Amino acid sequence: MLVLNWRLLGIVLAGLLFISGCNNQSIMYGSHSLSKADKKKEEIIVWHTYSEEETKVFENEVIPLFEKQHPDIDVKPVRQPYGEQLKWTLLARASAKRPPDIVRMDISWVPFFAKMGQIYSVSDFNDFTQVKEGFLEAPLKSNLLNGKYYGLPLNTNTKVAIFNRQLLKNVGYTSPPGNMDELLDLILKNNYRIGLTGYTAWESLPYFYGFGGKILSPDLKKAEGYLNSPKSIQAAEKLRILFNASGNSDTWEGVIDGKYLMIDEGPWFYSIQSPQKLEEIMKNTISVPFPVTNGKGSILGGENLVIMKGATNPKASWTFVKWMATSEPQKLLMKTGLMPTAKGVNIKESIKEAGYIDSYIAGLENSFSLPPLANWAEIEEIYIKYIRMIILDQIGAKEGMSLAAKEIDNQLLKEKGR
């Protein structure tokens, strides 16, 4: 009889738990339940790579504001140095099942961590469809992979073309050239110089695309026939000519004092300057969105917030991530020069020196993201190797692009096998 009573008690308890579970909606992620009924104070660990000035605002203004609005959540920020080492540290911590809850990471890293299965798809949260409507399209898409979103855009940037006013005026230009071929022609005819800084995708790809080049097929499955197409070979050759008219020393001062006709740079070119220096820059230069070719202007940069798969508190993490992407915290961080991703933020009203920001806002409309491939870093190394060889006249453009296409296709086969 005693055994029967214990069994009956077990059945009753199981039934109560089942009923409670039905009334307590949750999203299950592995062993974690994102329970709506769990009201106890939770701690989330956030790794970030903010600069010193940005960190002061993040830790002294943004986090206290969040904790005031969400007293059941404690946020523990950990500042990390930015670089490849951080990527491997995150993987090591994930393997040891000791990752942070949230990471602010470069947008180019998201595909890698998503393919490795180390970050949650935020598309699976019940309110994601509503949340995503609040973002600018280009930054939001940097989180998209195979139909799912793996983070939210926190801050964004792109580069614009910054011209020396006097050099333009000297040759009768009242406004900057509208496309890359016109720019190249202007430079060659007037023996001008341009401030190109290097061969990486961030540095050279806007020019390669601007001259009509392509790296991959639209479905990102092959480079053969695209990177070594006649237009891409021609683009590589024009890039070589442009680099021959370039210099990479002190490009900021160079475009201000007239050493360079043009440089391309992000909003930090302006935002970190003193008021006096900014006044000089605005007087001596003019900025415009990077020339657009085949729908592509300049490269998209920025950081996204992601939730690691081993997060201790995924529900609290999601609460923080989506709050960080709203207008209130983004306005606070905008004081440091970071461009927000929330549609509701009026940048012009929030930044006193808004004169320079117009071209960046316009430039975002045609900015492009790097291909969302887990092994993009390896593909970029191949691109860099052959673009450098072509520019330094160590190999012809046709041969270089053909060899690069073959090597990249080999990398794409590895990507397919993941």
The CATH number linked to 82 is: 3.40.190.10
Judge whether 321 and 152 are in contact, CB under 8 Å.
yes
Residue 353: the pLDDT is 54
Residue 418: the pLDDT is 57
| Same domain for 402 and 280 | yes
Question: Hey, CA dihedral for 280, 285, 286, 287, is it positive or negative?
Answer: negative
Residue 33: the pLDDT is 41
Identify whether 2 is part of a domain: no
- Structural domain boundaries enclosing 116: 39-157+301-364
pLDDT per residue, tens digit, the chain (418 aa), is 433 343 433 433 333 333 344 333 333 333 334 444 445 789 999 999 999 999 999 999 999 999 999 999 999 999 999 888 999 999 999 888 899 999 999 999 999 999 999 999 999 999 999 999 999 999 999 999 999 999 999 999 999 999 999 999 999 999 999 999 999 999 999 999 999 989 999 999 999 999 999 999 999 999 999 999 999 999 999 999 999 999 777 899 999 999 999 999 999 999 888 989 999 999 999 999 999 999 999 999 999 999 999 999 999 999 999 999 898 999 999 888 899 999 878 776 656 555 788 899 999 999 999 999 999 999 999 999 999 999 999 999 999 999 999 999 999 998 776 5
| Same domain for 135 and 119 | yes
| Same domain for 140 and 181 | no
CA–chain centroid gap for 180, Å, is: 24
Identify whether 309 is part of a domain: yes
Question: How many structural domains are present in the chain?
Answer: 2
Identify whether 71 is part of a domain: yes
Entry pTM? 0.85
| Same domain for 295 and 193 | yes
Phi first, then psi, for residue 182 (nearest 5°) are -65, -40
Residue 356: the pLDDT is 84
Identify whether 89 is part of a domain: yes
| Same domain for 259 and 168 | yes
Residue 17: the pLDDT is 36
Judge whether 348 and 354 are in contact, CB under 8 Å.
yes
**Domain boundary residue among 346, 364, 382?**
364
| Same domain for 315 and 383 | no
In whole angstroms, give the CA distance from residue 188 to residue 196: 15
| Same domain for 228 and 93 | no
| Same domain for 402 and 316 | no
Identify whether 24 is part of a domain: no
| Same domain for 53 and 111 | yes
Phi first, then psi, for residue 83 (nearest 5°) are 155, 175
Token pair for 63? 């986090």
| Same domain for 59 and 121 | yes
Identify whether 147 is part of a domain: yes
Identify whether 86 is part of a domain: yes
Judge whether 387 and 199 are in contact, CB under 8 Å.
yes
Residue 352: the pLDDT is 55
Residue 335: the pLDDT is 84
| Same domain for 390 and 254 | yes
Identify whether 177 is part of a domain: yes
Region of 97 on the Ramachandran plot (φ > 0 left; ψ -120 to 50 alpha; else beta): left
Judge whether 383 and 404 are in contact, CB under 8 Å.
yes
